[in-house]
């Protein structure tokens, strides 16, 4: 993943948080598959995994920010409910906020999630402030 694309995704995070509220998780995973596409994983208390409008909000902000050569690198948006065990796992790995990001250990993630992940970046990981 090019650093320029990661920077653009960080601007998507800022836009979403300005419009809707804090994100708990924003990550990208490159699964091992023939097409070599990235998945965007997002969790927030204002997102609901069964609400199509939630996907439209996230996808439209990504589409407005990335150019066409960047967009074709992505296959889907995955919205995780805040009580999903994947969210807890990612939150416990690292706290990432205010423009940071970290490449995650793909082997650890592959073992945890039981499918092969070639690369992964965590761009937002912050626990909800009570």
Query: Which pTM was predicted?
Result: 0.93
Query: Residue ranges of the domains in the chain?
Result: 3-125
DSSP letter for each residue of 13-39: HHHHHHHT---SEEEEEEESSTT--EE
Residue 125 has pLDDT above 80, yes or no: yes
Tens-place pLDDT, residues 42-85: 999 999 999 999 999 999 999 999 999 999 999 999 999 999 99
Confidence category of residue 130, pLDDT binned at 50, 70, 90: low
**CA–CA distance, 68 with 59 (Å, rounded to integer):** 13
Q: What percent of the chain has pLDDT over 70?
A: 98
Tell me what pLDDT residue 47 has: 96
Q: What is the Cα–Cα distance from 60 to 130, expressed in whole angstroms?
A: 29
User: What ranges make up the beta strands (E) of the chain?
Assistant: 25-31, 38-43, 74-79, 102-103, 117-125
Rounded to 10 deg, the angle between the 3-19 and 52-65 helix axes is: 130
């Amino acid at each position: 993943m090019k650093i320029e694309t990661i920077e653009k995704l960080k601007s998507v995070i800022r836009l979403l948080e300005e419009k809707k509220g804090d994100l708990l998780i924003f990550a990208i995973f490159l699964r091992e598959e023939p097409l070599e596409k990235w998945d965007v994983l997002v969790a927030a208390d204002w997102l609901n995994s069964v609400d199509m409008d939630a996907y439209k909000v996230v996808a439209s902000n990504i589409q407005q920010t990335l150019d066409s050569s960047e967009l074709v690198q992505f296959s889907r948006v995955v919205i995780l409910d805040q009580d999903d065990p994947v969210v807890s796992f990612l939150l416990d790995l690292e706290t990432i906020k205010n423009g940071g990001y970290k490449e995650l250990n793909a082997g650890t993630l592959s073992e945890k999630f039981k499918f092969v992940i070639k690369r992964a970046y965590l761009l937002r990981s912050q626990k909800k402030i009570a």
